[in-house]
Structure 1
């Protein structure tokens, strides 16, 4: 990866530190400098890209590894870790393996030997046995990922993908810092600078609290309840539930969750030696979190966890938003979808500054009945207040899809595109994928990995796949990289004067080349006021280095 110059690194370090304190965005002036749509450097990069693309997928991949990619806005931490890491963690945690299901199981106890060994019980084996049994090791890698998977009767790619998470569960949360280091190191090696990582902090006490409070049974208005199964919940009901949850001590778990993040980030920093002369390249990757809410559970738990997520995001600047996760096609996710959007509609009114990105439209014909394809993206936007849509694969099956796309474009609601995930889970590829429809409608899009560990990919793979499957150009990919930082949930004003228009920059930074190593005092003051703009400036600096290095 091409490194930013020392002067810029020092500047951006100052920017990031100041931006954590000063969150008031600077307003762009009316007269702003314009950036050429295709600079000589971009033309040179485009020629090199085209030559690599025409040569072979391998040459294209080699070119794209060093290309600046901005950020990954759709990444589940547990799904981003490779199976080999989980095997090592399972052995360290003295876990056992069920050879029939190739899943981790808790031991019945440990021996008195030094070091202690797990007592696994009849039929089970120690996770550490994988290091001396290649077949067991391979079986675990295959069980924890999509590697070597072949669909069979009754077992689809969708089934295998989501089953992996239960198989490697049980690993202690103390490894979270190691996992963050893994994804940050991988990102740094591919010239990626920002990750919004989806993670589910502890919420067990809040879940119990949610089940202890009576749930209202007000019938839903049949006109509003499109799924037909969920009982209705009025804003008055939700307000009373929130009051009851807060009175029951929900905020006590906020401190628990914040400490969990403290421990994980401190561990990551220690592993990477951040702030020391021996700091690794991974330290340069900024990580922020999206609070994962598990949607495939009864409403009592979903509402309680969602409320906790809003509370955490309101108090901890490292948690920049929330997202709903788990299979969108599951019974609870489908039958409760409308009510969950009503929950978000209410909570957004209470916590308007908390950002929302939603998995919506991670569906395909045949996976659910046709009616289930017609409204998820629309309700995620209109009721769920989603600023970004994750996947959005079924958008063209929605009611009035062209109108929906036009609205998404006009409101600058970005779609997080996960090509490999959509392939292995939904079987949607090529001409059946809506990426061209989004781009044609002017909807902002950016590439992301979803679960790179389970899928056995990385962000470079997704860039190469997008270029080959959809005949995208170098400038198309560069626009997607810029879009990723533009639609990040980082605080502050954008470097760009107009949303999603990457030709006109804020006038405060007009007196030097875009992404220059030594911003003027005026530009520096603007970057210090906006964490987002500082990351955007760094991305442009990386492009200066990358494009300038090409023959």
Structure 2
């Protein structure tokens, strides 16, 4: 297509139009040379603009309940037309109500502001407790902003304890509403489409939903709400392919029995569920990997193979949990941070067949690698351990997949070939069927080739950017400067 034409290189950036061009069309091998020159001259905003427009493959490590931006939660939860007719109340003050529940202060987290409940739960409260809550739809502007801030890590003193111990506890019964979940899914699809993603593999659980009167919904009823959303014209218009994983909270006392239920449910819904993921805070040793080896071996005797993507190595100390996770049968490792401390496992993972799902922003904000210069990502990438960039709980980081790409290029000087390989790996190591994976890879390679052609021929005007989100503004403030 390109022939072997070689030309003198010049990178021209038109700040007003966002144009990027070369003096003439070049051979494909020159893309690395072009990108190297571009990085040397480009501002943060110009680099971000290029990465926003870059075709992207998939997001493989995506907790749906953690992937809703604060304003999405609020807007959907306060819209009965979209949330299924539910009404919500959130805690805005603490009155130290006494004399109810199983002890003096009751069984619920009494000191957690912005813990949100639905109307059926609100009406069951004592008169004193009701005074602690305010209708979500009637918050003052100050209260609304505090609610929005309460479910994202936006302050320097916040870290993993704030995340693990308050965010989902505040969302609380919002997460039990599948209508909200389905709309959060749609918003993710629309947002991802705008930054060039073509595949989303997200974690969706359907066994603990309830209707607006507080009655349990069956898993089948809940799943149908999500499937109806995926079949909607709005979802189809995004062009984003979606598959689900089922998430096992690994440290719960009944985790083995829940895993058995998941195996059966995923086996019955293989058209939409492509795997199971073991999740949860890894410094809670009750969820150690080898706990599940007997259960998984028993389940593999009864069910055809089910894909496993398991969180491992998201801890501060060295251990062999990643190696143990591979023994469980994992095909993908979530985070894999401390794999760098286990040389035998590093050697085992070179050249595949396992992929590490890299979450740079998550690892920074949760203080596993507060200094990104110590992150093992470039060591994995450049010693041929398959990796892909993923977003984890992006709503709570207030970030995008483009943000992950920017952080990677900015801190680790990625080449164009390395950049494109991340998108390719995200599809190659997805849990799509073989035929769907082949088609997805073919589509991705075609999109990248078209993008390269447009850049090198000078025929592209990069799109204008949406407002850049909080993580980038906090850590790379020049991106958010006006002008």
1:286 matched residue in structure 2: 241
1:5 matched residue in structure 2: none
TM, length-normalised to structure 2? 0.76
| Structural mapping, 1:172-183, within 5 Å | 172-183=177-188
Tell me: CA distance 1:468–1:142, structure 2 relative to 1, closer, same or farther (3 Å): same
SS in 2 for 1:297: coil
2:146 matched residue in structure 1: 139
Tell me: CA distance 1:52–1:410, structure 2 relative to 1, closer, same or farther (3 Å): closer
Q: How many residues align?
A: 393
For 2:156 and 2:274, how far apart are their aligned partners in 1? 38
For 1:460 and 1:453, how far apart are their aligned partners in 2? 14
Give 1:394's match in structure 2, choosing from 338, 343, 346: 338
Report the CA distance between 1:439 and its aligned residue: 2.1
Question: Is the 1:341–1:379 Cα contact (8 Å) retained in structure 2?
Answer: no
1:500 matched residue in structure 2: none
SS in 2 for 1:350: coil
Question: Is the 1:146–1:455 Cα contact (8 Å) retained in structure 2?
Answer: yes
Give 1:447's match in structure 2, choosing from 386, 389, 406: 389
* Alignment partner of 1:342 is 2:348: no
SS in 2 for 1:170: helix
| Structural mapping, 1:389-538, within 5 Å | 389-397=333-341, 401-428=342-369, 429-492=371-434, 530-538=435-443
SS in 2 for 1:139: helix
* Alignment partner of 1:89 is 2:30: no
For 1:388 and 1:436, how far apart are their aligned partners in 2? 18
| Structural mapping, 1:162-177, within 5 Å | 162=164, 163-171=166-174, 172-177=177-182
Question: Is the 2:190–2:235 Cα contact (8 Å) retained in structure 1?
Answer: no
1:328 matched residue in structure 2: 282
Question: Is the 1:108–1:121 Cα contact (8 Å) retained in structure 2?
Answer: no
Give 2:255's match in structure 1, choosing from 302, 311, 318: 302
2:135 matched residue in structure 1: 126
For 1:454 and 1:71, how far apart are their aligned partners in 2? 20
* Alignment partner of 1:105 is 2:57: no
Report the CA distance between 1:358 and its aligned residue: 0.3
For 2:393 and 2:207, how far apart are their aligned partners in 1? 21
For 2:242 and 2:344, how far apart are their aligned partners in 1? 35
Question: Deviations along 1:339-368, whole A, 9 cap, x unmatched?
Answer: 124323432343342101100011113xxx
For 1:444 and 1:306, how far apart are their aligned partners in 2? 28
Gaps (5+ residues) in structure 2?
A: 1-25, 80-85, 94-112, 211-215, 459-483
For 2:35 and 2:412, how far apart are their aligned partners in 1? 18
1:58 matched residue in structure 2: 45
TM, length-normalised to structure 1? 0.67
Question: Deviations along 1:47-92, whole A, 9 cap, x unmatched?
Answer: 1564146422211110011111100000000111111111123334
Question: Is the 1:378–1:404 Cα contact (8 Å) retained in structure 2?
Answer: yes
For 1:404 and 1:51, how far apart are their aligned partners in 2? 37
SS in 1 for 2:61: strand
Question: Is the 2:58–2:198 Cα contact (8 Å) retained in structure 1?
Answer: yes
* Alignment partner of 1:199 is 2:204: yes
SS in 2 for 1:454: helix
Question: Is the 2:59–2:200 Cα contact (8 Å) retained in structure 1?
Answer: yes
SS in 2 for 1:359: strand
| Structural mapping, 1:141-160, within 5 Å | 141-147=148-154, 149-151=155-157, 156-160=158-162
Q: CA RMSD in A?
A: 2.6
State which drifts further: 417-426 or 93-102.
Answer: 93-102
Question: Is the 2:209–2:222 Cα contact (8 Å) retained in structure 1?
Answer: no
1:362 matched residue in structure 2: 314
Question: Is the 1:42–1:547 Cα contact (8 Å) retained in structure 2?
Answer: no
Give 1:186's match in structure 2, choosing from 182, 191, 194: 191
Question: Deviations along 1:288-323, whole A, 9 cap, x unmatched?
Answer: 01111111210xx21121112212222212100000
Question: Is the 1:202–1:256 Cα contact (8 Å) retained in structure 2?
Answer: yes
2:467 matched residue in structure 1: none
| Structural mapping, 1:220-299, within 5 Å | 256-270=218-232, 272=234, 274=236, 280=237, 282=238, 284-298=239-253
Tell me: CA distance 1:52–1:432, structure 2 relative to 1, closer, same or farther (3 Å): closer
Question: Is the 2:31–2:416 Cα contact (8 Å) retained in structure 1?
Answer: no
Gaps (5+ residues) in structure 1?
A: 1-38, 112-118, 206-252, 275-279, 366-372, 493-529
Question: Is the 1:49–1:60 Cα contact (8 Å) retained in structure 2?
Answer: no
